[in-house]
Amino acid sequence: MFKVGVIGCGNMGEAIIKGLIEKAGINSTSIVVNDINKERQNYIVEKYNVAGSDIRKVVNLSEIVFLVVKPKDLQDSLESIKDLFKENQILISVLAGVKIEKIKSIVEKPLVVRIMPNTPALIGEGVIGVSFEKDTEKKQEIIDLLKGLGEVFEVKEELLDVITGLSGSGPAYVFTFIDALAQGGVKMGLPYQDALKIATQTVLGAAKLLKETGEHPAVLRDTVSSPAGTTIYGLHELEKKNFKDAVISAVETATKRSKEL
Ligand SMILES: NC(=O)C1=CN([C@@H]2O[C@H](COP(=O)(O)OP(=O)(O)OC[C@H]3O[C@@H](n4cnc5c(N)ncnc54)[C@H](O)[C@@H]3O)[C@@H](O)[C@H]2O)C=CC1
Ligand SMILES: O=C(O)[C@@H]1CCC=N1
């Protein structure tokens, strides 16, 4: 038996496998993986020293099965395995927008848990939203496992769409912001590689300061802004270009999209 099986070893599947091994303390020999793309499966097997197997064996041999395919591949991926699950197994779905109810309509037996992680799970710094099909004595064990991937927030299932629009998609917004900061630096004369390092550390440092002090962001913003200084001039530009409006709309629109998937 394996502790964990992973079906779908793309970007998020790899993040989960790496996070489980390097941060959650799951031994690589306790993990079995499958991907319809055998090249990808072999790459993951070699890189992380996990077992590779056909999809049916992954279900037959794992206590906990992570399903990490795209929402469009839900039906196909579950078709050949839906009758294999047993009552005491756990199926953790990572699929954005796909409701527990829909998964239960295909597979009846396992306890279905829905999570919404993000790619920083790759380094144990993710955000993981989680909803359980029902209360279970296995809840703490599952939460402890997920803690290896990052900070875990248990929410009502309908709020997982918001988690998707905020932290699931969020790294992409932050990467875009960091790239834009760096390009600003380039425009004003810094080489891109230096500007990128400076922009990245600025975002990391600001996020850590916020987290460690527990202050409201507006309080910390005011500590940076000297009267008639540089920062208020920069902030005014962001206001004029509707920066906050754009960010709020990004989360809103991505949340709505998650509900549509
Ligand atoms: N990439 C991200 O930041 C996040 C993704 N997710 C969710 O994770 C899921 C996967 O996303 P990504 O990893 O980005 O996609 P991806 O396209 O990188 O990986 C999906 C993998 O599933 C494999 N696959 C497809 N059909 C299969 C089948 N029938 N059996 C076995 N393997 C199969 C594909 O070959 C591919 O390697 C999606 O449902 C997405 O909503 C959730 C949170 C964040
Ligand atoms: O873009 C997507 O649909 C997935 C869900 C959250 C992050 N990536």
Of the pLDDT bands very low, low, confident and very high (cuts 50, 70, 90), residue 261 is confident
151 and 203 together in one domain:
no
Write the Ramachandran bin of 214: left for phi over 0, alpha for psi from -120 to 50, otherwise beta.
Answer: left
3-state helix, strand, coil in the chain (%, to 5): 60, 15, 25
Residues 152, 204, single domain; the answer is no
Same structural domain, 81 and 208: no
Pair 238, 246: CB distance under 8 Å:
no
Looking up residue 189, the CATH number of its domain turns out to be: 1.10.3730.10
Which tokens hold the place of 239?
């206001």
Nearest-atom number in ligand 2 for the CA of 257 is 3
Distance 236 CA to ligand 2 centre (A): 32
Give the model's pLDDT for residue 1.
Answer: 82
CATH code, domain with 55 = 3.40.50.720
**Last residue within a domain, chosen from 133, 162, 191:** 162
State the sign of the Cα–Cα–Cα–Cα dihedral 156, 159, 164, 170: negative
CB 86 within 8 A of CB 68: no
Ligand 1 proximal residues by C-beta, below 6 Å? 7-13, 34-37, 40, 55, 68-71, 73, 76-77, 94-96, 116-119, 168
- Give percent of the chain with pLDDT exceeding 70: 100
Single residue among 143, 162, 181 that ends a domain in this structure: 162
Residues annotated as binding site for NADP(+)? 7-12
Contact 154, 135 (CB under 8 A): no
Residues 223-249: tens digit of each pLDDT: 999 999 999 999 999 999 999 999 999
Q: Is 258 in the pocket of ligand 2 (CB under 6 A)?
A: no
Which of 161, 169, 173, 259 for a ligand 2 pocket mutation test, highest count of atoms within 8 Å of Cβ? Answer: 169
| Tokens linked to 88 | 């005491």
CA distance 54 to 51: 10
- Residue owning the nearest CA to atom 44 of ligand 1: 118
Mean per-residue pLDDT, 35-42: 98
The reply to whether 90 and 217 lie within a common domain is no
**Both 43 and 86 in a single domain?**
yes
* Domain extent for 179: 170-260
pLDDT tens digit sequence for 157-166: 999 999 999 9
**Number of structural domains found in the chain:** 2
For residues 120 and 182, membership in a common domain is answered with no
Segment 139-147 long-range contacts (CB within 8 Å, at least 24 positions apart): 142/64, 142/90, 142/92, 142/113, 145/20, 145/24, 145/26, 145/64, 146/24, 146/115, 146/117, 147/24
Q: Are residues 154 and 197 in the same domain?
A: no
61 and 150 inside one domain: yes
